[in-house]
C-alpha cells in the first residue's frame, strides 16, 4: 500500500464525496416528495392519476438506474432539454427513489385500520384533519424501517453517476486506476469514503427504528 499516494489523492476523494452526498441528498429529498404524492394518490384511489402512478412505479422499479440515467442524459437533449450532468443525476435518483419511497409510505398508510379514521371523523374532524393528526403520524412511524433502507439504497445507487461523467467517488477511483494503476489504493479509498458516508446513516437509522419500536404503538 502506497500511503503517500493515498495522502496525495485524499482531497480529490473529499471533493468527490461532497458531490456524491450533495447529489444524493437533493435526489432523495425529491424522491421523498414524489413518493409522498404518489402514496397519497394511491391511498385516496384518485382515478386516472392512480393508474399513472401504478405505471410509473412499475417502470421505475423494474429498470436499472443506469438505463434511466442514459435516457435522461442522452434522451432528453434530443427532445430539446439540455441538462447538466448534476441535474440529470438528481432527476434519475428522484425517478428511481420516488417509487421506492411511494411503496414504503403506502404500506405505512395501509397499516392504519380504517376504523381509526372513522373514530377521528366521528369526533367531528374533517378528512384533512383526520389525515394530519391521526393517520399520517402513525403511518410515518410505521414506514421508518423501509424509509431508512431506501435512503441507504439510494445513496449507494449514486455510484452509477460516474457513467454520465459526474466526478463522484466511483468516477474518481476509476480515473485514478486508469491513470496510475494504483488499484489497491484507489479502491481502498473508495470503500473508506463510502463507509464514511453510509455508516452514520445506517447507525442513525437503526437508532431511530429502535426508538419507534420502543414507542410500540398498537392500541
The residue within the footprint of another protein, chosen from 63, 126, 165, 206 (CB under 8 A), is 126
44 touches another protein by CB under 8 A: no
Contact (Cβ atoms closer than 8 angstroms) between residue 103 and residue 57? yes
Instruction: Choose the binding region for another protein from 8-16, 91-99, 120-128, 145-153 (rule: CB under 8 A).
Output: 120-128
Which of residues 115 and 179 has its CB atom nearest to another protein in the complex? 115
C-beta neighbour count of 68 within 10 angstroms: 20
Least separation, in Å, of the C-beta of 107 and another protein?
18
Which of residues 22 and 117 has its CB atom nearest to another protein in the complex? 117
118 touches another protein by CB under 8 A: yes
213 touches another protein by CB under 8 A: no
d(CA 127, CA 39): 16
Contact (Cβ atoms closer than 8 angstroms) between residue 48 and residue 200? no
Least separation, in Å, of the C-beta of 75 and another protein?
45
Instruction: Choose the binding region for another protein from 50-58, 131-139, 170-178, 187-195 (rule: CB under 8 A).
Output: 131-139
Quote the cell numbers at residue 121. 371523523
d(CA 27, CA 88): 10
CA distances from 74 to 56, 68, 70, 102, 137 (A): 20, 10, 6, 27, 41
CA distances from 77 to 19, 95, 131 (A): 23, 17, 41
Instruction: Choose the binding region for another protein from 59-67, 89-97, 135-143, 179-187 (rule: CB under 8 A).
Output: 135-143
Which of residues 138 and 159 has its CB atom nearest to another protein in the complex? 138
Residues forming the site for another protein (CB under 8 A):
115-116, 118-126, 129, 133-134, 137-138, 141, 215-219
Amino acid at each position: 500500500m502506497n500511503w503517500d499516494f493515498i495522502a496525495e489523492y485524499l482531497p480529490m476523494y473529499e471533493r468527490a464525496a461532497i458531490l456524491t452526498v450533495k447529489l444524493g441528498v437533493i435526489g432523495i429529498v425529491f424522491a421523498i416528495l414524489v413518493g409522498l404524492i404518489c402514496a397519497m394518490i394511491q391511498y385516496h384511489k384518485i382515478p386516472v392519476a392512480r393508474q399513472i402512478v401504478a405505471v410509473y412505479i412499475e417502470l421505475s422499479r423494474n429498470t436499472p438506474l443506469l438505463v434511466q440515467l442514459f435516457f435522461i442524459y442522452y434522451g432528453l437533449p434530443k427532445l430539446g432539454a439540455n441538462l447538466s450532468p448534476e441535474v440529470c443525476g438528481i432527476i434519475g435518483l428522484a425517478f428511481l427513489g420516488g417509487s421506492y419511497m411511494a411503496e414504503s409510505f403506502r404500506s405505512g398508510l395501509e397499516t392504519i385500520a380504517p376504523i381509526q379514521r372513522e373514530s377521528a371523523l366521528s369526533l367531528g374532524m374533517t378528512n384533512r384533519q383526520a389525515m394530519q393528526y391521526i393517520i399520517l403520524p402513525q403511518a410515518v412511524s410505521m414506514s421508518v424501517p423501509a424509509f431508512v433502507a431506501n435512503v441507504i439504497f439510494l445513496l449507494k445507487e449514486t455510484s452509477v453517476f460516474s457513467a454520465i461523467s459526474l466526478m463522484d467517488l466511483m468516477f474518481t477511483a476509476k480515473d485514478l486506476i486508469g491513470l496510475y494503476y494504483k488499484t489497491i489504493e484507489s479502491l481502498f479509498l473508495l470503500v473508506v469514503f463510502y463507509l464514511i458516508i453510509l455508516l452514520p446513516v445506517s447507525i442513525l437509522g437503526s437508532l431511530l427504528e429502535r426508538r419507534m419500536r420502543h414507542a410500540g404503538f398498537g392500541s
